[in-house]
Chains A and B, each alone.
Chain A
């Protein structure tokens, strides 16, 4: 059975990912992890997270994926032992130093990070023989090439299916280091490849700006081929993404995978494309999966960011017996708005908001304060972790 692997920047996002259908999550600890600005987990957080995941029969992997400088190695072994003690299921790492110490001092399962840019069977098998159970392939491979690698290895393969794309071979970029001093391989990436540049040809500045920025990856239509290629884990990227994003993306791929597993085919991709589009705040494409990306897979000026104001609230508790629902506000909305309820195990449902109260149960008309706790009347039962979106639907 293929694994759907989702990112989680904090415990709430972890719970959201697992409740919405991820089989496993990957999180950052407070040491040795990229995405330094993601709200990374303490050891106690990791214990709680592992308990939550294991209760659901699911897994948690911890990223230890920095490329450590000499000074960063202090404290590595105690940290790895603490991860083992927290009962995490594996570490994801790029550094042979971390692989070596994990093997020498713990029984942690080891996954090789995409930072090592494994893009051929020789490399995959090299690391597998060194005791690395799973290899996260570089994003530079087509479906045909992934299939070829898979046929030549006993290692578990993990492939990115959704999220941001490094424009460079991952781990081999020092744009950020050189342009800003921020070390991309130690969690400080400034995303310099997403900036706009002027191209100069033989001293002549070109009028139109040059871009190195990539559209995000979205592989709904390639997922079945990856499953058929015996890829063991399908990975969604984005530990810094919102709960709404994670819930939407995870649920979409969950439904797609389940349909394929149940029927052997996908009847209508447009259902999934429509659902996942509600989470997108950047344009998407299929990356390298259909071959070398061209202009169509890049972002140029005037494209790219798509503000997403549709997500208006997060359900904190199940409906009470009067159908009042405790929520947390995320974007502006009014009484009278048509609202879509998006839940882990239900189809989307719709209602028009008629009553809303603040935390002291004063009736209000407008929800204008981010993170404000509110009570709203929803004419059907909803469960915690449901999401509320503004809707244009006439359903």
Chain B
């Protein structure tokens, strides 16, 4: 199982590189929910750095696209050294079609967040010869293991971080500021939370970026307790450092690289004053019939 991480500053790449197999970078031109948005020039630099130190590098292009935005996406991709990328992570099937037209469907990793919840859905794009796909964040360890046994392409999984649970195209924080008649621009601020009265102990981070508004889980999801089982089926475990800096990235990458160490985990949680859980790995969602 390889480990990938998002980064805040390209100068941190070498510091983190001992503990991961590759990096995920993006730009607000076509990505959303980024730890940091990089320019096209910076992305090309990062690609070269990663190649020079023998690390994999993935571009994340996870916005939902209208026709016009897809055209712009393709123009921007052409400015990136895309043939050197290990892969391109997308959320929109339309982007797969555009990248196929560039002849790089074999670099595509499909991550529609919530949708790949069973083995048939997970494998569906194998006919398109994609690189891989992310399993949904909302399924159990057992479901991931079942999908993994039947996988036809690389299996990606978000293994650590503040996971997203809501993506709206609307600029909800702009609308709120208009409602309260404030001129403060809340776009891209990473210190915002929303609190539901019955769940006051669980403030949810909220972010408005160029693609819309996002709400995140209150607790940091981690998968350290289950790594031994996940290694059997997961090809790429992704550490998402949104809302964090690279010091955090360096430390968390070490945790996932070292042998399981309960004391080190507790020390980490105390250092960063975080609450952790296992997401849905050990918890099933339910619905009424």
| Contact status A125-B97, CB under 8 Å | yes
Q: Which residues of A contact B76 (CB under 8 A)?
A: none
Q: Which residues of B contact A294 (CB under 8 A)?
A: 171, 174-175, 178
| Contact status A126-B168, CB under 8 Å | no
Among the stretches A190-198, A225-233, A256-264, the one at the interface with B is A190-198
Q: Which residues of A contact B66 (CB under 8 A)?
A: 119-120, 141, 145
Q: Judge whether A152 is part of the interface by a CB distance below 8 angstroms.
A: yes
A199-B194 contact in complex given A175-B165, A181-B286, C-beta closer than 8 Å:
yes
| Contact status B138-A177, CB under 8 Å | yes
CA gap between A122 and B67 in the complex, in Å: 8
A67-B193 contact in complex given A122-B70, A181-B285, A295-B175, C-beta closer than 8 Å:
no
- Interface residue count on the B side (C-beta < 8 Å): 70
A178-B165 contact in complex given A126-B94, A201-B186, C-beta closer than 8 Å:
yes
| Contact status B288-A36, CB under 8 Å | yes
8 A Cβ contacts from A258-314 to B? 288, 292-295, 297-298, 300
A179-B283 contact in complex given A97-B121, A119-B65, C-beta closer than 8 Å:
no
CA gap between A186 and B114 in the complex, in Å: 11
**A300 CB to closest chain B CB, in angstroms?**
6
Q: Judge whether B260 is part of the interface by a CB distance below 8 angstroms.
A: no
A96-B124 contact in complex given A140-B64, A174-B166, C-beta closer than 8 Å:
yes
Task: Return the contact of A171 from the options B115, B179, B285 (Cβ within 8 A).
Answer: B115
Most B-side CB within 10 Å, residue of A96, A100, A196, A294: A96
| Contact status B175-A70, CB under 8 Å | no
**B202 CB to closest chain A CB, in angstroms?**
8
Q: Judge whether A68 is part of the interface by a CB distance below 8 angstroms.
A: yes
Q: Judge whether A208 is part of the interface by a CB distance below 8 angstroms.
A: yes
Q: Judge whether A242 is part of the interface by a CB distance below 8 angstroms.
A: no
Which secondary structure dominates where chain B touches chain A? mixed
Task: Return the contact of A117 from the options B64, B69, B172, B176 (Cβ within 8 A).
Answer: B64
Q: Judge whether B38 is part of the interface by a CB distance below 8 angstroms.
A: no
A199-B97 contact in complex given A120-B66, A168-B167, A187-B288, C-beta closer than 8 Å:
no
Q: Which residues of A contact B203 (CB under 8 A)?
A: 200
**B163 CB to closest chain A CB, in angstroms?**
8
Task: Return the contact of A188 from the options B91, B180, B191, B286 (Cβ within 8 A).
Answer: B286
Task: Return the contact of A182 from the options B68, B192, B193, B287 (Cβ within 8 A).
Answer: B287
CA gap between A95 and B124 in the complex, in Å: 10
CA gap between A149 and B66 in the complex, in Å: 9
A183-B94 contact in complex given A120-B66, A148-B67, A298-B175, C-beta closer than 8 Å:
no
| Contact status A201-B192, CB under 8 Å | yes
| Contact status A67-B93, CB under 8 Å | no
CA gap between A30 and B289 in the complex, in Å: 8
CA gap between A148 and B142 in the complex, in Å: 43
**B248 CB to closest chain A CB, in angstroms?**
19
B175-193 to A contact mask, C-beta < 8 Å, 1/0: 1101110000010010111
Q: Judge whether B119 is part of the interface by a CB distance below 8 angstroms.
A: yes
CA gap between A183 and B197 in the complex, in Å: 21
CA gap between A275 and B284 in the complex, in Å: 45
CA gap between A68 and B115 in the complex, in Å: 9
| Contact status A182-B137, CB under 8 Å | no
A138-173 to B contact mask, C-beta < 8 Å, 1/0: 101100010011001000000000000001110111
| Contact status B215-A201, CB under 8 Å | no
| Contact status A97-B115, CB under 8 Å | no
| Contact status A37-B288, CB under 8 Å | yes
| Contact status B199-A179, CB under 8 Å | yes
Q: Judge whether A206 is part of the interface by a CB distance below 8 angstroms.
A: yes
**B103 CB to closest chain A CB, in angstroms?**
16
Q: Which residues of A contact B170 (CB under 8 A)?
A: 167, 292-293, 297-298
Q: Which residues of B contact A179 (CB under 8 A)?
A: 196, 199, 202
| Contact status A174-B165, CB under 8 Å | yes
Q: Judge whether B153 is part of the interface by a CB distance below 8 angstroms.
A: no
CA gap between A297 and B168 in the complex, in Å: 14
CA gap between A71 and B64 in the complex, in Å: 29
Q: Judge whether A85 is part of the interface by a CB distance below 8 angstroms.
A: no
Q: Which residues of B contact A95 (CB under 8 A)?
A: 115, 118, 120-121
Task: Return the contact of A69 from the options B67, B69, B143, B193 (Cβ within 8 A).
Answer: B143
Q: Judge whether B281 is part of the interface by a CB distance below 8 angstroms.
A: no
A69-B118 contact in complex given A168-B166, A183-B287, C-beta closer than 8 Å:
yes
CA gap between A227 and B215 in the complex, in Å: 36
Q: A178-B217, A205-B195, A294-B175 are in contact. List 18 more A-B contacts (CB 8 A).
A: A37-B288, A70-B117, A70-B119, A100-B120, A101-B120, A115-B115, A119-B64, A121-B94, A125-B97, A127-B93, A138-B64, A141-B66, A185-B115, A186-B285, A197-B194, A200-B193, A208-B180, A300-B179
Residues of B within 8 A of A (CB): 64-70, 91-98, 112-115, 117-121, 124, 136-139, 142-143, 146-147, 165-172, 174-176, 178-180, 186, 189, 191-197, 199, 202-203, 206, 213, 215, 217, 280, 283, 285-289
28 A-B residue contacts at CB 8 Å?
A69-B143, A70-B143, A95-B115, A96-B124, A97-B121, A100-B124, A117-B64, A120-B94, A122-B97, A123-B92, A126-B97, A127-B93, A138-B64, A145-B68, A148-B68, A174-B114, A175-B165, A178-B165, A182-B285, A186-B287, A192-B196, A197-B194, A199-B206, A200-B194, A202-B191, A293-B170, A294-B174, A295-B178
Q: Please name the 8 residue pairs, one residue from A and one from B, whose CB atoms are nearest each other, closest first.
A: A188-B287, A122-B94, A183-B285, A97-B120, A122-B97, A96-B124, A197-B194, A120-B94
